[in-house]
Amino acid sequence: MPRKKTKLLQAPRGTYDILPEDQIYWERVFRVVKELANDYGFEKIDTPIIEDTELFIKGTGQTTDIVEKQMYTLKTKGGSSLTLRPEGTPGIIRAYLQNGLFNLPQPLKLFYFGPMFRHEHPQAGRFRQFYQFGFETIGGTEPVLDVQILQLFLHILKDLGLKKIGVQINSLGCPKCRPAFRRALIDYYKNKKQKICPDCERRLKINPLRLLDCKEEKCQPIKVGAPLFLDYLCQECHNHFKSVLEFLDELEMPYFLNNHLVRGLDYYTKTVFEVWFDEKKDEASQAPLALGAGGRYDDLVKQLGGKATPAVGMAAGIERIIALMKEQEVKISPRLAPKVFLVQLGELGQRKVLKLFEELHQANISVAESISKPSIKSQLKIADRLGSKFSLILGQQEALDGSVIIRDMESGVQETLPKDRVINELKKRLAKK
């Protein structure tokens, strides 16, 4: 009787493995984000990947697609409802309030880097587990803070070697001026119910601003004639947005004023923006491929139980950025070659090499090894491929008499030295290389 084949287990749909060959891209992104975050005065914060479900209902918005369709929610044995975080900002604000960070000098500048989870149709650039980095400036109303967040993001993309990047920007006003725009939008759409998609019919009743975020083809001609947010801004919001645009002009930062940009989250006020690659379309919407987005959210801290506190932030999709780096053939410097490679022969040589490996690390000398390889020849080939300057060879005889062979990988010249002199001698020779 034929043996039944064991089914090969796969990663869950919409998830993937980050293999060693791709880690160089992830390390590069994280390094650039961290370095520029430090330069701009942002400190790193890590929050749990699982939070109370109510946090996202209150923070992200009850009627958003994220909350209605995309969250991974579970019931605990104790009856609590927890959700894998679909985005980063509500968790940051929860941490800000819970840990009393509002007592620190404001504005407080924080950044994060980690996985998010949304149940949506997997396709190019969209995953169910995906990674973001983000920046939040909490406790400042000045328009310059909106622009600094955007400038920082563009600075990151530039340092990652990406080109042909565009900016879309809009203002969503505030609770004082938004009701008038909302009424105008409802009046415009109410006689066009038969011409819009079913989702937009529902949005018209529960969250009219989402009408402007619709990507369905049949809704696009109607959206073109919709009222413009900028025509309904109060004086404060008008002045704020005018100042933002003046800062962008001063920086000579090209942007496109997109009157239909509303973003998919309910907490935004005033400035919103998206940063996208000019020449590539999103498969689902055929809109330009967004690499990241953000804006001001002056009411979120109060909504989550704190005092009224202005804030602005942004988040970026790391998978999309890395895919674009590969597409644009961005060159990434390889990891620094280990300066020293340890070569061993025999069990006694292996024992001594393990100890020497630790001693070299303590002396801040970068080192590599291939301790499972049995032949000296194969190990020296690896040392040569890695670009090591010197190899230290420890065979049975060297292990017995407490010596080490230093081999110059460029000239091939070898010298035997007592083991206790090796580190100082290496430092001298490396200083000359």
Query: From CA 416, how far away is CA 396, in angstroms rounded?
Result: 14
Pairing of strands 340-344, 390-394: parallel
Number of domains the chain contains: 2
Residues 303 and 360 in one domain: no
Is residue 225 in a domain? no
Residue 36 sits in the same domain as residue 148? yes
DSSP state letters, 236-289: HHHHHHHHHHHHHHHTT---EE-TT---S-TT-EEEEEEEEEEEEE-TTT-SEE
Can you say whether the dihedral through the CA atoms of 285, 287, 293, 298 is positive or negative?
negative
Domain limit, last residue, from 260, 292, 327? 327
Beta strands in 105-217 (DSSP E): 108-117, 129-138, 165-171
Q: Where residue 163 sits, what CATH number does that domain have?
A: 3.30.930.10
Domain residue limits at 402: 340-432
Nearest to 294 by CA among 270, 311, 312: 312
Q: What is the CATH classification number for the domain harbouring 348? A: 3.40.50.800
Please check whether residues 51 and 138 belong to one and the same domain. Answer: yes
Sequential pLDDT tens for the chain (433 residues): 566 777 889 999 999 999 999 999 999 999 999 999 999 999 999 999 999 999 999 999 887 889 988 999 999 999 999 999 999 999 999 999 999 999 999 999 999 999 999 998 887 768 999 999 999 999 999 999 999 999 999 999 999 999 989 999 999 999 999 999 999 999 999 888 888 898 888 888 888 888 888 888 888 888 888 999 999 999 999 999 999 999 999 999 999 999 889 887 789 999 999 999 876 555 554 556 789 999 999 999 999 999 999 999 999 999 999 999 999 999 987 777 899 999 998 888 888 888 899 999 999 999 999 888 878 899 999 999 999 999 999 988 998 999 999 999 999 999 999 999 999 999 999 998 7
Whether residue 145 is found in the same domain as residue 239: yes
Q: Same domain for 117 and 158?
A: yes
On whether both 247 and 277 belong to a single domain, the answer is yes
